[in-house]
Every structure is written in structure tokens, then in C-alpha cells.
Amino acid sequence: MTTDNEICRMNALTLAAHIRNKQLSASEVTEAVLRRMEKLEPHIHAFCTPTPEVARAAARAVDTRIAAGEDAGILGGVPIGIKDLVATKDIPTVMGSPLYRDFIPDEDDIVVERLKQAGAVIIGKTNVPEFGYSGAGHNPVFPTTRNPWNTQLTSGGSSAGSGASVAAGVAPFAIGSDGGGSVRIPSAHCGLYGIKASMGRVALYPGCRDERYPGVSSWESLEHIGPMSRTVADSALMLSVIAGPDPRDRYSIPAADFDYVEATKGDIRGLRIAYSEDWGYAAVDPEVRRVVSEAVAVFEEDLGCTVERANPGWDNPMGTFWALVAADTDLVGMRRMMKGREHEMSGHLVDLLNHPWTAEDFTNARIGRQRICNLMWRFMAKYDLVLTPTLAVPPFAIDIQGPEKIDGRMGRPTDWLAFTFIANMTGQPAATVPAGFTRDGLPVGLQIIGRHLDDRCVLRASGAFEAARPWADHWPALLQQLGL
């Protein structure tokens, strides 16, 4: 008999195959992950809204179809968490905000529609900072999400609960969204793989696209939805389900001309790679530099790539990025919603909404973005990939926006996010792979950025690095402490 722990440590591809072949039932799998969730939630607070009855009903439907000899879908019976910024019909979508405490969408997000059609079993909504305007995992409504590798530390954000849940084995993968790194940030902090495909690969709606919801009609020119998983192949499997155009998203692009799972296979010998350890200006924790540099060496010494240290040449564009966020935000609608309730909300979000933004701020931001895009494509004319740290620091204490000092340099609480948001500004594909651990046992991520629309190369490089330095069997000590 397969134990709960064996089930919860299986990857999505294996689970789907076992369910399809009747070695496991979808209901068995669902009950195993729900029991694990119940044990872990008091420690990590990954799920703001568990949905056990929704999950059980979906699992029974999968089992019925399989018993009848029908196709239950490529993800038939596989459990998944859905980030609480992503709309779920008839399931609360609070987005970490008191302004949406009672909000229940009347439609699913496109990716949720596609996951359901593929037979995935939704086990709950995963926790986020308020409206996703943060790289950390706390909000005014729910308990702070904690990192399974050290529960005194953040799991990152804004896909905070998705990262914690997958790292703890509550589900083999989860949906995240990424407007400035929010798939890659918690994936890096939690020792996972996460990928933001090229802008438009995964269609978004209603998030960023529906003016009825001021809190979520934001980040339109920056936002992506993507998978977070323990293996590269599982993320590719999810992309094969959720990617593709939709008329509800004017940024969506035609379907890829390659198979996502097959794209993870093959060697990368001969690729030309640029390695930037700091973009030329960012403060980076010495342990992160060490771990990432050792991971980069694998590409040259083991995988046969040519690696050069190089920087694209822009100055720190953090201010430009936040102006783009503000320009994408329904400032009028959100200011109206929060009036008189500012004291209930996250201070950093209130500050952003109340900032006296000008037309010149937004115009300058668009021009700044154009400059970065042009610098990047010229830079990448010489390189197939760019490697960087995913984050400038390892996981840090909960309930803060970020460390005020990195490698002895004082800075802003968002400086640790220096590497991720660039790919949102340019729309390029970007992934994070687990690079290794600090001497304190904390995960560190390596970011892989590909050329415009070259998702296939990013997936192939991710798969090659995983094969050279596998990570999926590393589990947080918390699980052993809890007998999991």
C-alpha cells in the first residue's frame, strides 16, 4: 500500500500516470494531501482558503471517468494550489486585502478553466501579500506564510503560499503569478523551480483585464502567470496545459511551436552564456554570490557552454519599474476603495497609491523601459542566455519588506529584488533553478533569462542543469520533525 508520504513526494508526472493506470485513485491522492495540509498549516500558513470539499468532488469525478474508461485529462487527479490573486469561481479570492475579504468571483481565470479541463484537483487558494504588491508573504487578513526551510523566515512573495505548499510537499506544483518576479522569488526562497514564460504565452483574465475589479485590474503590461514545482518537467507539464492564446487577453500570442515537456530534454553544449552577478550595481549577499557562482560553473565545466562575465549596461531601474506598476494600476478605483480604510491596509501599498504620480513619471517610465528593452536585445545578440542570482539575499525574517542592509550596504527594502523584474519589463522568458544552499542551509536560486520568445532554450537549460545537479530529493527538516 502506498503511504501518504510516498504520495506527497511524487512529482506531478508520476502521480498523473499512477492515477491514469489505476495504481492510485484520485480520491486516495486527495485525502493524502489534505491530511498533509492539516498537519502543516499550523506551521507554514500556505493556504488562506483550503477547499477540501471542492477537491474531494473533483477527485471523485476523475475516478468516475477513469472507471468508465474515459480520458480524465492530462492532469487527471493531480492536486494543485491556486494563488489567491487568480480568480476561482465560487471560491473566495481575497487577495490578502480587507477590501476583498468577502469577494467570490463569478468566473474562473483562464488558467483555472484550463487546469480544471485537464483534470487537476484544486485543494485551495494560496496566501499572498495584499494585491501582490510585495516580494514578501504577509498581509492584513491572514496569518503570515512561513518558509518550510526555516519557519522564522519568509517564503518570499507574492506567490508566498504557493512556494511554501510545494516546498512542503502538500502538492507537486502550484500556480503563481509574476509581475516583478513573484513566481521566481518564492521559488528561489523555497528551493523550487519556477518559470515565467514569455509575455503572452499564458493568457490572463480576469486578472489585469477586467475593469470591474479595481484591485486586480493592475500590472497589465508586466504580469504573467506560471508554474512553481519541484521539477522542471512538472512546470513544463503545467505550461502545456495553461499556455495558449485567448481573445480575452489582448497580449496573448499564438501557441508555441514546440512541446513544453520535450523542450526540457537535450544537452546545451555550445550555448553562449553571459553571467552577471550584480547587473553592475546591485548589492549581493556574499553567500548568494558563492552559491550562484558555483552553479554557473556547472554550465561551463559540466554542460559545455561558453560563459562570460558581462553586464547589459543599464543603471538601476527600480524607480522606473515601480512607476510602471503605478501606471498599470487603477489608481482612481483603488483610491476610492481604500478611502477611510487606509488603517486596515498594508502601509507600503497605501504609500504607493497615495504617491503624487505625474504624467511625466509615467512617460519617463515608458521611455526608460524602451531603453532597457533595446539594451537587452543588443546584449543578447551575443548570448543565448543570461544567468544571474535570482535574489540578492537568502530568505530573511517574516513581516518585513526586505533587509535594510545587504553586504554592508544600506539600501531600500526592495533592493534585494534587483534581478527579477527586468524580465517583466522586457517580457522575456525567465526561470529560477535551485542553485544550492547557504552554509545555514537556506535555498538560493539561479535565474536563467532567455532571448525574446525563446522559452524552449530556457526550459532546455533548466533541464540540463537539473540533470547535472538534481535537487528534488532535498526536503526541509520540518517534514522529518513532523513525521512526514
Catalytic residue set: 83, 158, 182
What's the distance, CA 125 to chain centroid?
14
| Encoded amino acid at 139, one letter | N
Q: List the Cα angle 91/120/49 in 5-degree steps.
A: 30
First to last CA, the chain: 17
Residues 434 and 192: beta-carbon distance below 8 Å: yes
Strands 173-178, 121-126: parallel, antiparallel or unpaired by DSSP? unpaired
Q: What are phi and psi of 273, to 5 degrees?
A: -125, 135
Retrieve residue 328's grid coordinates: 498599470
Q: Compute the Cα dihedral for 34, 39, 44, 50 and give only its sign.
A: positive
Residues 55 and 29: beta-carbon distance below 8 Å: no
Q: List the Cα angle 151/154/155 in 5-degree steps.
A: 95
Distance (Å, whole) CA 129 – CA 142: 9
| Encoded amino acid at 358, one letter | T
Distance (Å, whole) CA 206 – CA 222: 15
> What are the residues facing 228 on neighbouring strands?
174, 194
**What does each C-alpha distance from 449 to 27, 128, 276, 320 come to in angstroms?**
39, 25, 11, 20
Q: What are phi and psi of 336, to 5 degrees?
A: -65, -45
**Burial classification of residue 470, based on how many CB atoms lie within 10 Å of its CB (0-12 exposed, 13-18 middle, 19 or more buried):** exposed
Burial 336-348 (b: 16+ CB within 10 A, else e): ebbeeeeeebbeb
| CB within 8 Å of 397: residues ≥ 6 apart | 152, 153, 154
Q: HEC profile for 232-288?
A: HHHHHHHHHHHCECCCCCCCCCCCCCCCCCHHHCCCCCCCEEEECCCCCCCCCCHHH
Residue in the structure block whose three cell numbers are 558555483: 294
